[in-house]
Structure 1
Amino acid sequence: MQVISADRHDFVEVFAGLGPMHFRRLVRAVERAGGRELVVGRPGRPWSLSLQDRVLLVAMYYRTNLTMRQLAPLFGISSAAVGRVIDRHSPWLALQPRRRRPKRNDVLIADGTLVPTRDRTVAAPSRNYRYSTNLQVVIKADTRLVFAVGHPVPGNCNDCIAFGTSGAEAACGQAFVVADGGYRGTTAIIPLRRKPGQQQLLPWQEAHNASHRRMRARVEHVFARMKTWKILRDCRRRGHGVFWATSAVAHMHNLAYGWSL
């Protein structure tokens, strides 16, 4: 017996973190991305759940971080079927790459966040005292929406290295990228530093750094909102699952704020 269904709007808002209109947009985006691989009329054994219920299952998994054994009775399917739904649909919920590269006058903000991960192949002991992976996230400065998510690198990797190796720097193109002081040696604009022998910064340099900090705070606010999806507090996915989970959370974060990049 199925307990939770996408037909109930109150279930969608509580367990997916999206309003009914935003959830319908997510379902349409998944249908466009997955195409015939996810629809009911595809060849082979049919899905026991409708497409919107499958999307709700994956969104609920990311939102609550419940185990597959806990999700199975709520949707009236087996735990193995829950695993198949999550594995098959996760890439389609992810934030899709932008077709157009950012322009020169676009302003982006980049920063990295540590996601505790069970998979030791993409994680390492980090400053949060857990095995974590470093995920680079780039947002648009004007809309505060996620623009791109880099591929995971071990959590002990510095941001200046992770920014390039994760593919986040390449996704930014020729746009202006604002970042903190950990991005020295990259194309990002970082705060001004004192030169050797300089006791303190000049007044105009202090003013520049103050405005720089206010702008960089926007990406910290985005991290706080994204981590209301509890999968980013303890990710049990392996391999590319960490990347798909973070990209899907970024996609749902953008939809929750009523914007479409």
Structure 2
Amino acid sequence: MVERVIRADRDEWVPVFTGLSVRQSRRLVRVVAGRGGEQTGTGRRCSRPLADWVLLIVVYYRTNLTLRQVALLFGVSKSAAHRVVDHLAPLLALAPAARRHNPDTVLIVDGTLVPVHDRTVTASSKNYRYSVNMQVVIDANTRLAVAVGRPVPGNHNDCTAFRDSGANTACRGAHVMAYGGYQGNRQVIMPYRRPRDGGELPAWQHDLNTVHKLNTVHKRVRARIEHAFAHMKWWNILRNCRRKHDGVQHATRGIALMHNLAIAG
């Protein structure tokens, strides 16, 4: 009889359902195991290998199926799938930056709107949905995700969200690039803009923008975070998240970790 449930030891199923290679999937399992994943939680779910439960979460993030549907794919109950996600999702998340960056480090920050069903953490946003603003920071050279801020209501502009989400503290010591929406935040680097009173830029600022093509170079480098967002949104949960409370934060940080694994190869 052919087994009709997804298991991590079926290597041919891993790329199909997760978008990760088998090697990357195994590295992800080792990360979760190193954070105590083997000892987390109780119940019948522990009768299967940790790799199966990590795979369940990745499939959930990738497909954005309901937990009832994911549970059927793995041959477990909906409540068991729910417990797995609740217990292991925090261990699957990108670890926050713990120390100051090297002064030569260049980071890029930007925000993306993630539609979320939980109205307690969202607000009506410019995408015409109830969303949260997720601030993501990447390394400009390696393109690896460095930090993900706490979710803030989607009606917050990026300059405010950068501060309120805690993403600014994750950038300590580094140079930070951002687009014009972060105007007024002295921590970030952006092309010079005309003053709000309509006056002209000083000559040296105008020269940097035009003669030295600061605008063009800045846009070319900053576009790397747009590419990172495009890749992260392959995981469909970032297009319509049904998780409550900290669920969207764990999901975004988990996807940032998988984004890094995919880049590292």
Question: TM-score w.r.t. structure 2 length?
Answer: 0.91
Partner-residue secondary structure (3-state), 2:96: coil
Report the counterpart of residue 237 of structure 1 in structure 2: 243
Indicate if the aligned counterparts of 2:29 and 2:54 stay in contact, CA closer than 8 A: yes
AA aligned to 1:26 is L
1:114 offset after TM fit, Å?
A: 0.2
Moved over 6 A (4+): none
Report the counterpart of residue 118 of structure 2 in structure 1: 119
Partner-residue secondary structure (3-state), 1:216: helix
Report the counterpart of residue 3 of structure 1 in structure 2: 5
Report the counterpart of residue 248 of structure 1 in structure 2: 254
> Would you say 1:59 and 2:58 are equivalent positions?
yes
> Would you say 1:209 and 2:215 are equivalent positions?
yes
* Structure 1 stretch displaced more, 98-107 or 205-214: 98-107
1:45 offset after TM fit, Å?
A: 5.2
AA aligned to 1:11 is W
Question: TM-score w.r.t. structure 1 length?
Answer: 0.93
Which aligned pairs between 1:172-191 and structure 2 lie closer than 5 A?
172-186=171-185, 187-191=187-191
Partner-residue secondary structure (3-state), 1:92: helix
Partner-residue secondary structure (3-state), 2:36: helix
Q: Distance in 1 between matches of 2:230 and 2:47?
A: 35
AA aligned to 1:246 is T
Partner-residue secondary structure (3-state), 1:134: strand
AA aligned to 2:233 is K
AA aligned to 2:32 is V
1:98 offset after TM fit, Å?
A: 3.1
Q: Distance in 2 between matches of 1:203 and 1:10?
A: 56
Count of matched residue pairs: 256
Report the counterpart of residue 193 of structure 2 in structure 1: 193
Q: Distance in 1 between matches of 2:245 and 2:199?
A: 47
- Could you list the runs of 5+ residues in structure 2 that have no partner in the other structure? none
> Would you say 1:23 and 2:25 are equivalent positions?
yes
Q: Distance in 1 between matches of 2:14 and 2:122?
A: 32
Report the counterpart of residue 15 of structure 2 in structure 1: 13
Cα RMSD for the two superposed structures = 1.9
1:10 offset after TM fit, Å?
A: 2.0
Q: Distance in 1 between matches of 2:209 and 2:262?
A: 37
Indicate if the aligned counterparts of 1:2 and 1:73 stay in contact, CA closer than 8 A: no
* Structure 1 stretch displaced more, 154-163 or 13-22: 13-22
> Would you say 1:95 and 2:94 are equivalent positions?
yes
